[in-house]
Chains A and B, each alone.
Chain A
Amino acid sequence: MRAIMFTFESTYVKKVGGLAEVPPRLGEAMEKLGLNIELFTPSHSVIDTCREPVFEVSINDVNYCVSKLSNLKPIHYVVGGGVLDEPSVYPPGKLMEKSLMFARVIYEYFKEKLTGEKAEFIFHGHDWHSIPVLLALNALSVKKDLNSRFVLHVHLGTRNAVSLDELCRIALLCEETYVRGDHGIAELKHYYYASGGIIERLAALTVDKIVTVSRNYVKNLVRLMGPDKLSKMDYVYNASPLTWDEVVKLLKSKFGLVEPGNHVNRLMFRDKLLTNTIKFIGVSYIEQDVEKYVKSLIAKYDLEYNSTFKSSGPLIFMIGRLSSQKGFDYVLKALDKIVFMEPRVKLVVAFSPTTWDLEAVKAWIEAVLSFPDNLRVFPGMLSRDHAVLFYYASNATLIPSRNEPFGLVALESMATGTPVSASKVGGLADIVLDVRREAQNGVGVLFTPGNIDDLVDSTMHLVELMEKGYEGAREALAIRASCIKRAEEFDWGSSARKTIDLYNEILKRTWIKRY
């Protein structure tokens, strides 16, 4: 079996959000179980793919290259050239083109490389950006009669539309192109019209397995793709990208903290972080335009985003993308109330904005002017080490998402022993056991998404509870222990085993040849 993954983000090439962690880490864990995994991702101009290409193709007079990064686990194939070198991973106005061109180059690559091969193939695409790739390789498989199976791994459902014209013009997936799907081998237009033009529905008709990242999120996908697709859906949990052992090691080696498990040390660490260390923490930017914008805004308002707080206090941490999905705007609305309930509270927000998010960046930076004693905003990518510092020092990590297929942030936080206050949606509802209901195993609180009062009440309940932990309150210390334990339950080994089982299950199936 040859398993080949496609993803727009890999933490080794370019990371915007949680997606970047999953394909490489899942792939690595599967390799440990004996499977060979190859991973394809666009270059986003991080890598000059045409310097030492393993494949080159010219399309409409533009040169596209594939370079191989053999030192990575799994092996990465980085696809570059033209729109694939757009530095923004998700460039506004060009994203569909980028996704289709990714498919086109990969199609050309496999058309050349797979001549006469008789192996079993698993083509495993992550999120909708990889759907054109799956379609292109589906068409190639029909053409070359390859023994291939297709898996779509949904980290976030989007309901994006694609036109037949775009599919044909850029990815050479034209009306008469034959693909295989639920109705057997048929012209693409047959499946396209059945899908209503929604790219994820098109995929649902033409893949063998739809995998998502939490049990609860399957419901969202059923709504997105249709109830009749439930039988081909399953979930594979993501894993915690962090373990308590790694946290301890990091805090000891890089930050000189003795006994990170001691609650008094944790409190002292928080106080120092807020009143001193914070000023040494910086951010990096994933897009130059964004960096320029953020810097001009900060200069205009004469702000130092990492300035120290005048005093310490209960700390809430938020980290993630600024997209509407993440619901950070709810917290902007809730700031008055949060500070009202606890004037000493400190909220540290770290986000990695894209060009889509400039208005939201402005709103957050302006909020710092209103809440100078309570709010700091890190308007770019925090290093992993620094993120761990904030997780560790916080009373709670706040995850106010509108929807959240999985919620890696919850696991990262819990791995540092910090509970989460999260919207009761998607994977968060799977991961987070509410301390108000699960006295023994509680790892946070859940609130109704978008309900500001519930968000504030739940979060501040948790913050207050954990504040007592700094004085040694048993309940709070038990919650920290439950968090670490719960995070460990989500590991890549289990996810890899389940994924391999799913591969084997679909390889056993036979397919109708003709429609």
Chain B
Amino acid sequence: MPSNFVFILHFHQPHGQLKYINERIFENSYRMLLEVFKQFSDLKFTVHISGPLLIYLKNTHSDWLEEMLKLGDIGTIEFMAGTISEAVLPLVPSDLRLSHITRYIELFESLAGFKPKGFWLPERVWEPWLPEVLAKAGLEYVVIDDSTLRKTGFSHEKTKYAWITEESGYSVKVLFIDEKLRYILPWEHPDKVIDYMAQYASDADALLLWGSDAEKFGEWWDRDSSRRWLVEFLSKLRFEKRILMVHPSEYLREHDAKGYIYLDTGSYDKMLEWSGGFFRNFLVKYVESNNMHKKALWVKSKLVKAQGKLKEIPLDYYMAYCNDAYWHGLFGGIYLAHLRQAIYESLIRSEKIAEDAINYFESNSIKRILADFDYNGREELIIETPELNLYVSPWDGGTLFEYDIKKPGLEHNIQDTMTRYREPYLEGTSFNPDWYRRTSWRVHIWGIETSIHDWINNTPFKDMSDLALHKYNTVLTEDPRVFYLRTIGNVYYHGSKSASVFVEKRVELKNKGYSIHYVVRNLDDSIVKGKIGFEYHLAWKVDRDQERKPYYLVNGKTYSIDQWFSGEANTIILRSEVYPDIILRTDQSIGVWIATLSSYARTEKGLKTIPQGLAVMFVRDVELKRGEDFELEVEHTIDV
């Protein structure tokens, strides 16, 4: 009496994936898997292709997709549905969760001619309200991890069967992925895997479910080895009397759900570890993740106003919820600049569509809003024009944390760089995490001996002032193009307060960007001696189609982004083949440090250095007596 085995392969590439990576994986993994499925068409495979990948394959490899769908027609493959952007649903506003699923189903149905019955839960992030949404989408079952069962307090025994769970009178059946099986397949010998699977052989109702990334075959593990492994495994399964390979729908048809169950929030074991037990807390761990998420909410409020004027919410907006850029685990995730960029591009395009639809700017070409954008209980200053957005945090050193270019075709958040966080895998290395968010307009007073190396690598106790993290007052003027940020901070020598320092930032919107006039004034009798620094971060646009690197020019001389620069200058240009020049120009020749801001992130290919953007620090040695000012004007423009 054989027990049942469900083999689910989840195919996914994120929104914004680099073209050459998509193609490499397609060749090494997806094409190989198709061949295996065909070779073993008498067996039963279950497949989920994520929304972003489905769109990509539809546009670039429709023949492959067609063959896969044919395998569906003949009963080899059961396809599962997902969300259109592979969004982790709890991050999606509640009123858009259902449409995130139905948009996927509609797309899939347009290609395959039928609606899937099962649901691949992105990152298997389960929350108890899900049954209602899934049932409303017409889905019968969902696959989650046995760790969620354990977290709720149930025994592993329950993993073997299907259960019904319910919310507000809506129900869905749940099937559980077996963690142990997930860890040994395909990493152990097929015989060992099959022996493990055969443990329930005496129970005809028992179900053993493997559900994981298809890319394990051919991308994580090389193509030939993984193909060899699969062929051996599947060949043995063909004749294995103790195990019956089934589709989930078939299993549910033949074996009823055992009863009803209610489940705690959960995900797979590692995800619980990375997120601290609850996925949403990635928004707490990474301020950049929260930034994207809250930008999505900000844009949504505009889309809501545009309802009735737009046929539907743009697909781009849905794509902005693609989960990969919002967290970090085994893949680079949030540390991957090209993924974050894709999110911002989609959001900025959607924002523009909404603004145009509702005539958002009316007669004002500049909107100024004080709002708690990031939901941290403190208000940020949002400046919006039809061409750009500036998001300013008065509470975090009076800094610029988002700078959106909205010109069609050039949508980009120039400020989208990444703070380097403390990560468990960096413990014991010489890595010093960033002590402040790597955004622009931050003012420092460095010790006179401080070097570019100290700055970019966070040598402790080099900044002698508290200005970098000080709260600034936001002062608007009658001229909508101009506002001020002002504060009084302190300079410390040997740990004792030595002087008070007044800082003013006069920001003025210009045609192609903005300028900022800094005044730093010593208010005390003690001399302020140090290196005044004004920090900027510029995110270049990633070349998704080709691997062409950006470079920068200092006073006309070209440097590769791998090179550091330390010298006098007044013009810095960040140049790439795919985007207009991003320019910083000062009103005087001044010391400049330039370095690439690089993260060190764990990826499926091991620890990698991931460049985030160009870090620029204008520096000047000063000895300010009481009442003396240091002034600097910096223009930050895009050459469009």
Contact = CB atoms under 8 A, between A and B. Distances in A.
Q: Do A and B interact with each other, yes or no?
A: yes
Interface of A: 300-302, 335-337, 339-340, 343-344, 366-367, 369-371, 373-374
Interface stretch (B16-24, B46-54, B468-476): B468-476
Interface string B357-381: 0000000000010100000000100
Interface in B485-527: 486-488, 500, 502, 523-524
A336 B392 CA distance: 13
B63 interface: no
Given A300-B500, A339-B475, A367-B473, 20 more contacts: A301-B502, A302-B523, A302-B627, A335-B473, A337-B370, A337-B379, A340-B370, A340-B474, A340-B476, A343-B478, A344-B478, A369-B486, A369-B502, A370-B473, A370-B475, A370-B484, A370-B486, A370-B487, A371-B475, A374-B475
A370 B483 CA distance: 12
A336 B524 contact: no
Interface string B566-590: 0000000000000000000000000
Mostly helix, strand, loop or mixed at chain B's interface? strand
B473 A336 contact: yes
A271 to B, nearest CB: 16
Contacts of A344: 478
Interface in B87-112: none
Given A301-B523, A367-B473, A370-B473, A336 B488 contact: no
B345 to A, nearest CB: 30
Contact of B476 (A302, A343, A366, A367): A343
A300 B475 contact: no
Contacts of B394: 336
A367 B471 CA distance: 12
Interface string B438-471: 0000000000000000000000000000000000
B59 interface: no
B477 interface: yes
B368 to A, nearest CB: 7
A300 B379 CA distance: 31
Nearest to B472: A370
13 contacts: A336-B370, A336-B379, A336-B473, A336-B474, A337-B370, A339-B476, A343-B476, A343-B478, A366-B488, A369-B502, A370-B475, A370-B487, A371-B475
A340 B480 CA distance: 11
B488 A369 contact: yes
Contacts of B487: 370
Nearest to B480: A343
B203 to A, nearest CB: 62
A471 B366 CA distance: 28
Contacts of A374: 475
Nearest to B369: A340
A101 to B, nearest CB: 39
Contacts of A302: 523, 627
Interface string B408-425: 000000000000000000
Contacts of B475: 336, 339, 370-371, 373-374
Contacts of A367: 473
B100 to A, nearest CB: 33
Contacts of B500: 300
Contacts of B473: 335-336, 367, 370-371
Interface residues of B, number: 19
A302 B502 CA distance: 12
A277 B97 CA distance: 62
B152 to A, nearest CB: 41
Contacts of A300: 500, 523-524
B197 to A, nearest CB: 60
A371 B523 CA distance: 17
A98 B523 CA distance: 39
B314 to A, nearest CB: 31
Nearest to A313: B478
A367 B484 CA distance: 13
A374 B474 CA distance: 12
Contacts of B524: 300
A344 B478 CA distance: 7
Most chain A beta-carbon neighbours within 10 Å: one of B394, B476, B477, B487:
B476
Nearest to B370: A340
A76 to B, nearest CB: 44
A385 to B, nearest CB: 32
Interface string B52-81: 000000000000000000000000000000
Nearest to A337: B370
Contacts of A301: 502, 523
B128 to A, nearest CB: 34
A367 B502 CA distance: 11
Contacts of B502: 301, 369
Nearest to A456: B370
B520 to A, nearest CB: 13
A371 B474 CA distance: 9
Given A300-B500, A370-B486, A343 B370 contact: no
B372 to A, nearest CB: 10
A188 B169 CA distance: 69
Contacts of B370: 336-337, 340
Nearest to A363: B488
Contacts of B474: 336, 339-340
A168 to B, nearest CB: 45
B523 A343 contact: no
Contacts of B627: 302
A40 to B, nearest CB: 45
A373 B486 CA distance: 13
B501 to A, nearest CB: 11
Contacts of A336: 370, 379, 394, 473-475
Contacts of A335: 473
A301 B473 CA distance: 17
B476 to A, nearest CB: 5
A361 B492 CA distance: 23
Contacts of B478: 343-344
Contacts of A373: 475, 477
Contacts of A339: 474-476
A300 B474 CA distance: 23
Interface in B374-432: 379, 394
Contacts of A369: 486, 488, 502
A369 B461 CA distance: 28
A301 to B, nearest CB: 6
A302 B476 CA distance: 23
Nearest to A452: B379
A333 B489 CA distance: 17
A439 to B, nearest CB: 30
A340 B379 CA distance: 12
A340 B371 CA distance: 11
Contacts of B523: 300-302
Nearest to A362: B488
A343 B488 contact: no
A336 B475 CA distance: 6
- Shortest 9 CB-CB contacts between residues of A and residues of B: A370-B473, A370-B486, A336-B474, A343-B476, A343-B478, A366-B488, A340-B370, A343-B477, A340-B476
Contacts of A343: 476-478
A370 to B, nearest CB: 4
A367 B500 CA distance: 14
A328 B477 CA distance: 23
